[in-house]
A and B are shown apart, each in its own frame.
Chain A
């Protein structure tokens, strides 16, 4: 936690517009993370890499996380017909996609510092800022996030699919990904299998 507090105070002085937020991690408090808003993450990342005493020159790991829409049911006390009653309300939490970076300092032997940025929503083509200009090791890993999660990275030099083939259309690591029905065992799909295959083909056409 000390590392995170130090980084946050330094970052607040140097790049105040980044408005970094600490995200506590209950399982491993030493690996709590720092969330920065996408427009300023490039400046923040450059500062983290170059500032004396920080020098996070080694981006070990970059990955995506999918957080789909969810609703939370909460019990609240409300006045109903003049009587105070306990009612259950549902609160919507809109989903988002997240990119997580694990930074280390090879020079100072410190780390990890966990850096996160999140998208506004989960729509196709949603974008974040690429950190490849700061840490070259993100090049393939951000391509992988683009491939498997569907986050576009602005400023990436060569954003193409990397593990799936070029003609593939979906993003398989998203939580709501539906794998296509495997009907290859059936030379002529019919009945239920055919219906499923047609439904999925229609859904894929709508996917942009």
Chain B
């Protein structure tokens, strides 16, 4: 069976492939998206279908492209910090951290103890709310309309309230600075965060009791979209998606950036690499994050939150380049910066995890039905603000 080349037709188009290739069997070319609720944003998949089965799938994106990298090269280092919030708008705090970490490496800045703790706490809270929401969206894609997602959103609201009282913003936090954090915690914040953390475990128990052994969930996810381990490594897949395929590679353990070497936590690893493993890894990771949070909230020391040597104005790192990466909830978020000694970065590059995790989408979906494609895409966990940049 020879599949015809997929043309890049704009908009929604239903056309028989037999028109373009008379030798092809009755293949149907469908443009899934960009305005489709299952694509999690303005994302399009050009799919060729043989009946219900996917023959080829070409992801098309760029609808949200604003050339963030070019904008960042035209402004000062610090002025890009609020823009990083808009990459993966669910996880602005981890985006901030990845950028701050890279600039600190480039300029050789040290981060005070308390700021390191605040970074770990906010990053793990971000991971909790991201994973909870993703599991909710994944179930929504499977037809569990509303309820699981709203349960997840209820918990997420509590974490966003914490972010709001700490940084002044719920989603666009703009919290970290080169050499520390922007502001210290308000009175009672640590206690409030402890309460939210303690309650989150109970929410997870409830969530799992309702869903994890649900027959429909198992039927829709087990054996669907299997990603083998070797292909995951070669394809640059990172984060929960890689760990579900058995790649035990968590940058919190491998690079030990920040102060992650002080906390006891395990890295869950999947056996099958299917959609169910990707769901389960996220649930297990939330439980590990709770352990980190409990320890961090107990240990957080008093002290300054900014490196006294860090300059906010007139910040010019010496010439050179640096690559920094952290384990963001979506995967490995990296920043690559080249400095020519000026106030602006000469080259500013983001390694977006959701963009690179889409590389193997076609391999995962080939042979599955359209309904499974939607679930597989949901399990990849993409945010188009980061894919398109």
Contact = CB atoms under 8 A, between A and B. Distances in A.
A11 interface: no
Given A26-B320, A28-B105, A136-B236, A109 B349 contact: no
A162 B360 CA distance: 15
Interface in B287-333: 317-323, 325, 332
A150 interface: no
Interface in A13-63: 25-28, 31, 57-61, 63
Interface in A86-110: 100, 102, 106, 109
A61 B348 CA distance: 13
B233 interface: yes
Contact of A28 (B106, B238, B359): B106
B249 A163 contact: no
Given A135-B236, A148-B69, 13 more contacts: A25-B321, A28-B320, A31-B321, A58-B233, A60-B351, A63-B349, A136-B235, A137-B234, A141-B356, A161-B62, A164-B65, A165-B62, A166-B8
Size category of the binding interface on chain B: 35 or more
B320 A60 contact: no
A136 B336 contact: no
Contact of B334 (A27, A61, A138): A61
A116 B254 CA distance: 24
Contacts of B325: 60
Interface string B357-389: 011100000000000000000000000000011
B319 A112 contact: no
B135 interface: no
A27 B254 CA distance: 22
Given A57-B233, A106-B233, A137-B236, A27 B389 contact: no
B332 to A, nearest CB: 6
Interface of B: 8, 61-62, 65, 67, 69-70, 105-108, 231, 233-238, 247, 249, 254, 317-323, 325, 332, 334, 336, 338-339, 347, 349, 351, 355-356, 358-360, 388-389
Contact of A27 (B237, B317, B349): B317
Central interface residue in A59, A60, A137, A138, by most chain B CB within 10 Å: A137
Given A60-B332, A109-B254, A31 B70 contact: no
Interface of A: 25-28, 31, 57-61, 63, 65, 100, 102, 106, 109, 112, 114, 135-141, 148, 160-166, 172-173, 177
Central interface residue in A61, A109, A166, by most chain B CB within 10 Å: A61
B339 A61 contact: no
A135 B356 CA distance: 12
Contacts of B338: 65
Closest 7 CB pairs of A and B: A27-B320, A137-B236, A163-B62, A61-B351, A63-B349, A163-B65, A136-B235
